[in-house]
Chain A
Amino acid sequence: MRQLTTIDIKDFPLWEKMKEHRRLFSFDLEITARCNNHCHHCYINLPSGDREARAKELTAQEINDIADQSVALGAVWVLISGGEPLLRDDFEEIYLLLKRKGLLVSVYTNATLIRDEHIALFKKYPPLNIEVTIYGVTKETYERVSGRPGSYDAFMRGLNLLLEGGIKVRLKAMALRSNFHELPAMAAFGRYYTKDYFRFDFQLHFRFDRNEARNLDIKSERLTPDEIVALERGDDERFPVLVEGCNELINEEFSHVGCDHLFHCGLGNGGFNVSYDGKFRLCHSLWAAGTIYDLRQGTVREAWEKFVPKVRDMRSRRAEYLEKCRRCSIVNLCLWCPAHSDLETGELDSPIEYFCQVAHARSAAIQEADAARQEQA
């Protein structure tokens, strides 16, 4: 009988246990809200030299405490994100302290600050993966998004260092008004380097700090529903999967008629998010009053065991929501959720016209393709 078994993260025994009861699997640490880029569409970035933001950042010691508490609750996986996590001088210390706790560590980065020291670190202590966002594959486009001269060269240099160092990189791209014309080239670039993983994100949500001018920037970067559908249709790998899963994605059983719970996603089911200043949230987009727990004043255990169930139990009384999104059969195709609703309208339960239009356009395209597929069969 085999006593030692290799397990793939996909077959982790905890997945089964998570089906039986809510338990902690992972957590995200936004170790800074600052960034060296100034992306037009960004929901979080504050200037890299922002002293106030820097002063509020969790120290490595505080991160160590939070990680200890999370590991004691059984966490297996941590994502380090930001802002730009590599902006922190103590990035290496933070990365290593998380690795030493037996956590699988992923990092989100724009790659512009990658240096030889990072490659040596990742080679010796491998991350689960380093996920890099592509904003353009020409200097002009990349920097139109990033808003920073020199950032394209820095991105290419950093990415090359990672790839040449044999570090496990995943590429993804953000589809924006500013890079729309270059998306096919971005996809080709992304697939060339990380074929099995590459994906586009195209749905933008508003800022965590509710900065109105910046929210207008985000709005101006959003693609139209038709553009999103055209983009999705052109994705030979993902679109067939969506069509294949049509019946699960668009399904009356997903509607929750007669239930006034606000949240019907997996929020707080297996993970949580910690902001740069120690705020525990059930999801990285959720910033609404009453849904935030300050870890500088309390413990991860209390947040996880006592606070999460309270948030998950929040209800709505808004007829518009209960009649519309709460019983919507295409909610799985929609970026609408209470968190995004709050960021956009200040209310957790207001439908948002743009998200609704995008979801309906996606649903129509998927159903059309599904009908054509069935006819062919």
Chain B
Amino acid sequence: MELTLEQIIVPSEDIVARLIEDDLIIVPLVAGIGDADDELYTLNETGKAIWSLLDGEKTLGSIAEELSREFNAAPGEIEQDLLGLAGELLLRNIVVAR
């Protein structure tokens, strides 16, 4: 499924996200999240900033706006990055779209 900027994504109930000493670690709870069952995921700094904004209310578009203000970057660039990450998270069932 292609995501659009109007959509809202939220962390899936099938994962547990943990902040361990500044690292955001995503631990699959159920089978079928990663390619192997013992795979974990981590997000880089931008990914972490995005993750912290997934509050179930903000659309991807408003998250992009917020981030472009925060990082002083062109909205177009942020939108592309954001949709890329959101798509990958969705594909792996780490988030669900509303």
Residues of A within 8 A of B (CB): 1-9, 12-14, 17, 23, 71, 74, 76, 99-104, 123-126, 128-129, 168
Pairwise interchain contact B44-A7, C-beta atoms closer than 8 A: no
Q: What CA separation (Å) do A125 and B27 show in the bound complex? A: 11
A102 contacts which of B17, B21, B30 (Cβ < 8 Å)? Answer: B17
B55 within 8 A of A: no
Secondary structure type dominating chain B contacts: mixed
Q: Mark B20-59, 1 if CB is under 8 A from A, else 0.
A: 1101010111110011011111111011001000000000
Residues of B close to A100: CB separation below 8 A: 16, 29
User: Which residue of chain B is the closest to A12 with respect to CB atoms?
Assistant: B40
Measured between C-beta atoms, what is the minimum distance from A74 to chain B in Å? Answer: 5
Measured between C-beta atoms, what is the minimum distance from A337 to chain B in Å? Answer: 30
Pairwise interchain contact B21-A14, C-beta atoms closer than 8 A: yes
A4-B89, A5-B42, A7-B40 given as contacts; is B29 within 8 A of A13 (CB)? no
User: Which residue of chain A is the closest to B35 with respect to CB atoms?
Assistant: A6
Residues of B within 8 A of A (CB): 16-18, 20-21, 23, 25, 27-31, 34-35, 37-44, 46-47, 50, 81, 84-85, 88-89, 94
B85 contacts which of A4, A76, A126, A129 (Cβ < 8 Å)? Answer: A4
B38 contacts which of A9, A14, A23, A103 (Cβ < 8 Å)? Answer: A9
Q: What CA separation (Å) do A3 and B30 show in the bound complex? A: 22
Pairwise interchain contact B31-A125, C-beta atoms closer than 8 A: yes
Pairwise interchain contact A102-B27, C-beta atoms closer than 8 A: yes
Measured between C-beta atoms, what is the minimum distance from B19 to chain A in Å? Answer: 10
Report the tally of A-B residue pairs with Cβ distances under 8 A. 81
B20 contacts which of A5, A9, A14, A101 (Cβ < 8 Å)? Answer: A14
B41 contacts which of A4, A71, A101 (Cβ < 8 Å)? Answer: A4
Pairwise interchain contact B37-A99, C-beta atoms closer than 8 A: no
Q: Identify the interface centre among B27, B40, B85: most chain A CB within 10 Å of its CB.
A: B40
Residues of B close to A8: CB separation below 8 A: 38-40
Pairwise interchain contact A6-B85, C-beta atoms closer than 8 A: no
Q: What CA separation (Å) do A23 and B41 show in the bound complex? A: 21
Residues of A close to B81: CB separation below 8 A: 3
A123 contacts which of B20, B31, B41 (Cβ < 8 Å)? Answer: B31
A3-B47, A4-B41, A5-B41 given as contacts; is B20 within 8 A of A76 (CB)? yes
Pairwise interchain contact A6-B31, C-beta atoms closer than 8 A: no
A3-B85, A4-B85 given as contacts; is B40 within 8 A of A9 (CB)? yes
B34 contacts which of A3, A6, A71, A104 (Cβ < 8 Å)? Answer: A6
